[in-house]
Amino acid sequence: MIAEDSTVVDAVATQREHIAKAISAAEQTFRAGGRLFYVGAGTSGRLGVLDASECPPTFGTPPEMVQGIIAGGPAALTSAQEGAEDNLDQARIDLAARGVRAGDMVVGIAASGTTPYVRVALEHARSVGARTAIVACSPPPPETLHQADIAIVAITGPEVVTGSTRLKAGTATKLILNMITTGAMIRLGKTFGNLMIDLRATNVKLVDRSERMVAEVSSVTREQARELIERAGGSVKLAIVMHALGVDKDEAQRKLDEGGGVVRRVIGGDPPPVE
């Protein structure tokens, strides 16, 4: 299994230009106020829901900004819903229920490339004017490719257990989805160097991390960092800008808005080195 898994990164690397296009499309979608939807069935759907659910705590995004839709609904996350991927009407219903519209982006995930639920979801997305993309690990049929503005097809080959796409195909899919959202969030200014400066400090560990980031970037003590974060309303990003420019919270927010949310454009200089 390790020998087979070692081939996955190379398969994904062949799609780097297509992944870059998806990152750009996602960034454009977000900056215009649109949302990103992952749509899939089975393992593919679960991976989409997973990636979407990790964006709020990692990047401080609202839950509606990146959403995962899985054939069979929430029950399919923990229990296989056989046949759900063949329910074509449900694909349209599920996207309509989320209000998918022009300005959004829908990424269909289908390891086999042939999942009917995903194909119809892409058809619906296109019909309402949304951007579309397909992530697959086998060549999709022409009727599916025709619905996708961007096609990311990382050919991972036969699985150790034939047909078990939770293996190599699942690993490749996870890598690709990680890159789409992480790349787009970096371009939105959700990071500074390798630091997650827009995380939500929702537990003791993340409060500690927030203070360490501000102390490191701003070259202040932990106590000073804590006070800066408090004055910034809990925002690490605002705290960094406030200290660097010597301004209050409102002015720091205005400067960030002018810089498209990217700290480096606002305060200049290089981010701290990777630890």
Degrees (nearest 5) of the Cα angle 51, 49, 210? Answer: 40
Q: What is the Cα–Cα distance from 221 to 216, expressed in whole angstroms?
A: 9
Contact 143, 19 (CB under 8 A): no
Would residue 54 show up in a list of annotated catalytic residues for this protein?
yes
Name which of 136, 139, 52, 40 is nearest 84 in CA terms.
Answer: 40
Amino acid at residue number 96: A
Phi, psi of 135 (to 5 degrees): -115, 120
Q: Of the listed 27, 85, 123, 211, which one is catalytic? A: 85
The pair of structure tokens assigned to 24 is 């750009």
- For the chain, where are the alpha helices, taking DSSP H only? 2-5, 8-13, 16-31, 42-59, 88-97, 116-127, 142-145, 168-187, 204-218, 222-231, 236-245, 249-258, 263-267
Contact 268, 252 (CB under 8 A): no
Would residue 17 show up in a list of annotated catalytic residues for this protein?
no
Phi, psi of 173 (to 5 degrees): -60, -45
Contact 225, 214 (CB under 8 A): yes
Positions marked active-site: 54, 85
